[in-house]
Amino acid sequence: MADSNQPFAICYLPYAICHMPTISGFVFDVDGCVARGNHALPGVPETLAVLRGRGIRCAFLTNENQRTRAQVVEKLNGLGIPCTQDDVLTSATIAAHVTNTLHPNKKVLAVGAAGLLEALQLVGVTLVDWEHANEAQVVVMGKDPDFNMKRLDTVCQTLWSGADFIATNLDAKVPSANGFIPATGPMIKAVAYATGKEPLVTGKPSKWAGEMALKALGIAPEHGAVVGDALEQDIRMGKDAGLFSILVLTGATTQEMADNASAQVKPDLVLADVNQLP
């Protein structure tokens, strides 16, 4: 029998599954969980189809913030994973919601790609361009493909002038077709290091991410589960939100890392991949 202080590992799968709560909805991470790069992981589309066929709700929560919500939907549909915008949350959409809630009617400098800019515009946030960055009262930052020393300086000057600092997420890296690529975190950390100002992080594992995931599923926490490959993002969010937490070993985390995880990020169940979901 598994050590009560350890997550249920693959070798204890039958025991772990019989102790799972009744799940009526899953929140899936995307990269490293259901997909890698522009390819679905083997068997995942079929597994999700089976779950949905049993009436189980499937939603997707990604710390991706460069793509728009519609582009994430298009990507998943292209991978054979049918979904609509109601099924998808990104760290950009969460950041936009939080920004509009905490800083209504304030001018915002958005540092990122189309996914972040569109999300902010859709909730009615007033954006300033780079030439008027000194007017910004809030900086909202995601992964900016055009980030350079000039933009770093502009962002720092804006924060030094008193603007509030919001970040989509702090992921260091993300799984890709050829291994990993740097994610949003390194850019955010560069700004935080230079200014001494830590951002309010709104994507996984924040409380806002958990709350919006549950709203997307339309269920109570005790009937939901989060499935992902990252301890600090997926599992921490799930545990903080009261969701059953399932780690899959198809991305950033190994079994050894799961075994040695602290209580705050220790998954309730560890699976080789999504296809082992009961």
pTM above 0.75, yes or no: yes
pLDDT in tens, 45-55: 999 999 999 99
177, amino acid identity: A
Instruction: Give the model's pLDDT for residue 19.
Output: 60
Percent above pLDDT 70 for the chain: 93
Q: What is the DSSP letter of 8?
A: B
Beta bridge partners of 8: 269
Using pLDDT thresholds of 50, 70 and 90, give the confidence band for residue 14. very low
Greatest alpha-carbon span in the chain: 63
Integer angstrom CA distances of residue 156 from 65, 143, 189, 200: 21, 16, 12, 16
Instruction: Give the model's pLDDT for residue 2.
Output: 36
Using pLDDT thresholds of 50, 70 and 90, give the confidence band for residue 7. very low
pLDDT in tens, 115-159: 999 999 999 999 999 999 999 999 999 999 999 999 999 999 999
Report the mean per-residue pLDDT for the chain. Answer: 92
The C-alpha atoms of residue 271 and residue 8 are separated, in whole angstroms, by 9
Report the candidate in 75, 73, 80 with the shortest Cα–Cα distance to residue 42.
80
pLDDT in tens, 256-265: 999 999 999 9
Instruction: Give the model's pLDDT for residue 201.
Output: 98
Report all structural domains of the chain as residue ranges with CATH numbers, in order of start.
10-91+205-225+236-276 (3.40.50.1000), 92-201 (3.40.50.1000)
Residue 203: half-sphere exposure toward Cβ, Cα within 13 Å: 27
Residue 242 has pLDDT above 80, yes or no: yes
The residues that are catalytic are 29, 31
The answer to whether 137 and 163 are in contact (CB under 8 A) is yes
Q: What is the dihedral of CA 206, 23, 7, 212, to 10 degrees?
A: 0
DSSP strand pairing (244-248 vs 269-271): parallel
Instruction: Give the model's pLDDT for residue 245.
Output: 97
Question: Cα dihedral sign for 50, 13, 233, 257?
Answer: negative
Using pLDDT thresholds of 50, 70 and 90, give the confidence band for residue 180. confident
Report the candidate in 94, 81, 99 with the shortest Cα–Cα distance to residue 31.
81
Report the candidate in 115, 123, 118 with the shortest Cα–Cα distance to residue 98.
123
pLDDT in tens, 181-209: 899 999 999 999 999 999 999 999 999 99
Write out the DSSP string of 149-189.
HHHHHHHHHHHHTT-EEEES---SEEEETTEEEE-SHHHHH
The C-alpha atoms of residue 269 and residue 272 are separated, in whole angstroms, by 10
- 10 Å Cβ neighbour count for 162? 8
Instruction: Give the model's pLDDT for residue 17.
Output: 52
